[in-house]
Amino acid sequence: MEIIRENTGEMTAQLRIKITREDYLERTEKELKKLQKDMVLPGFRKGKVPMGHVKRLYGQAIVVDEVNKMLSEALQKYIDENQLDLLGYPLAGKNSKPFNPETETEHEFRFDLGLAPSFELNLEAVSGLTYTQLVPGDEDIDKEIENYRHQFAQVEPQEVSDENSIFEGTLVEVNENGEPVEGGYNTQRAFHLHSDMVDADAKVAFIGVKAGAKVSFKTVSIAALAKFAEVTEEKAQQIKDRLVFEIEEIKKEVLPDLNVEFFNQVFPHQNIQTEEEFRKEVGQRIQLGWMQRIADQRFLNEVADRFIETHHIPLPDEFLKRWIVANSEGKITQEEVEKDYDKKFAKGIRWELIESKLREKAKMEITPDDLRERMKRDLIENYFGFLKYSPEGDARLDALATDMLKSEEQARKVYNELNEEKLIVYLRDNLQVNIVEQSINEYFDSFKKQPTQVGEQETDTPDNAQ
């Protein structure tokens, strides 16, 4: 086997790989013998099919397969040994000829390469940007305090229900006459009327009732019903309009007053004495979650645009256009690439090159502990907010996070999210950035009022976020 490199442009090259029959003969013979050993054909015992017959049936396919493996290995070895920094992956050369192992004793394969450009990062050139640090407003703090009050409330029996009641009883599927369906859904359940799960209109019927009442039950969504009733969403869809709650017991919450005793229940060992100190601590602990990520993503988009504007990064355009079409597996046409190349494809590739250099410069490292803590944060934000200040809850979150990260797909998702977060922190701390604080409502109101520019990607807001 012989490999010859020829530069075809400033950032393109072609590798010519010459292969003779002697190069692949031993490998193909070995594969044919393995195939013969396991082959079963009518008239022959297993492993006794004549080699000539095996070759006639599968010889050419085996040769093509082994040659492809040899080419892949040779390409990777050449790229590694010569430390080539490629864009995309090698493409079959435009001037390549088809390989016919039956008529050729040697063949030259050609591969076109796109080489990454050389450029230096200039962080000082990227300036005049604003990073928005979201902070909870009074409404957010009030809501969180109310959640704490419910968390530490005392529970006692109640004769007539109100908006803070807890109901225990049976959730029953009924027919059009309000009678229980034979063999239908029927399960003991309990819920708090304060919960966001119950439909707002349905809540009204639960106020002012006594034990023994049967009240129509509706949730805010099919997903909420499926979770509460512990059924599939398909089953929840079937029963959603045919449920009543047979109230067996009503309890009431006695919410704690905002006093020192309550402050110490919520934040033990911190010696909080005033409501002002308490509100400050609550504000610092509110998980901003997806809301801060929206602000961070807008900041990252602006940084990317500014880097691309201020850094001249040439690209092997014709090679990349071919590669984009090939890599799309038929989903993108040559015409679409030509139309969107500069504004979409080339811009994305340039940012990937810049981003790679930024990560290298920042010496970013993500440890298994980092992944587990990030996974725990996701669990708190989306499912288990009530566990975030409990030592027992932390142990449970550790176990859940460790188990979920066993999934390669989940681990990759969390890794990518954490990688982006670390990049944003590095950019915020190392570029000339004006850091401002805004309440959540102020921030989203400010960019809701901005006119959408042609071609500008929409950003999720509280009104359209999923």
Mean of pLDDT values over 265-276 = 88
Options 3.40.50.10090, 3.40.50.2300, 3.30.70.1050, 2.60.120.10; CATH of 2-114:
3.30.70.1050
pLDDT attached to residue 390? 62
Does residue 429 or residue 32 have the better pLDDT? Answer: 429
Mean pLDDT of 259-268: 90
C-alpha neighbours within 13 Å on the C-beta side of residue 196: 3
The full set of domain ranges for the chain reads 2-114, 123-136+286-448, 154-254
Q: Give tens-digit pLDDT for 78-93.
A: 999 999 999 999 999 9
299: part of which helix (H) or strand (E)? Answer: helix 289-310
Q: What is the DSSP string of 327-352?
A: HTTTSS-HHHHHHHIIIIIIHHHHHH
d(CA 269, CA 447): 41
Please give the model's pTM, rounded to 2 decimal places.
0.68
User: Residues with Cβ < 8 Å from 203, sequence gap 6 or more?
Assistant: 163, 193
pLDDT at position 461? 36
* SS3 of the chain: helix, strand, coil, percent, to 5: 50, 20, 30
Q: Work out the percent of the chain whose per-residue pLDDT is above 70.
A: 93
Rounded Cα distance, 102 and 220, in Å: 68
Q: Which residues contact 364 (CB under 8 A, 6 or more apart)?
A: 419, 422, 423, 426
Mean pLDDT score, 432-449: 83
Q: Fill in the DSSP letter of residue 450.
A: S
User: Is pLDDT of 455 > 90?
Assistant: no
Instruction: Return the CATH architecture of domain 154-254.
Output: Roll (3.10)
**Per-residue pLDDT, 453:** 41
Q: Average of pLDDT values for 259-281? A: 90
CA–CA separation, 127 vs 377, rounded Å? 32
pLDDT digits 0-9 by tens, 93-137: 988 888 888 888 889 999 999 999 999 999 999 999 999 998 888
Kindly report the average pLDDT of the chain as a whole number. 87
Q: pLDDT value at position 454?
A: 35
β-pairing, 243-254 vs 165-173, is antiparallel
| Residue 141 DSSP SS3 | helix
Angstrom distance (rounded) from CA 119 to CA 169: 69
- d(CA 47, CA 452) in angstroms, rounded, equals 70
The residues facing 3 across adjacent strands are 17
Angle at 457 between CA 455 and CA 460, to 5 degrees: 155
Section 217-224 average pLDDT? 92
Question: What is the end-to-end Cα distance of the chain in Å, rounded?
Answer: 56
Query: Quick check: 13 pLDDT over 70?
Result: yes
The partner residues of 246 in beta bridges, in order of sequence, read 170, 214
Q: Grade residue 353 by pLDDT with cuts at 50, 70 and 90.
A: very high
Lowest mean pLDDT segment, chosen from 63-72, 286-295, 333-342, 388-397: 388-397
DSSP state, residue 449: S
CATH architecture of 123-136+286-448: Orthogonal Bundle (1.10)
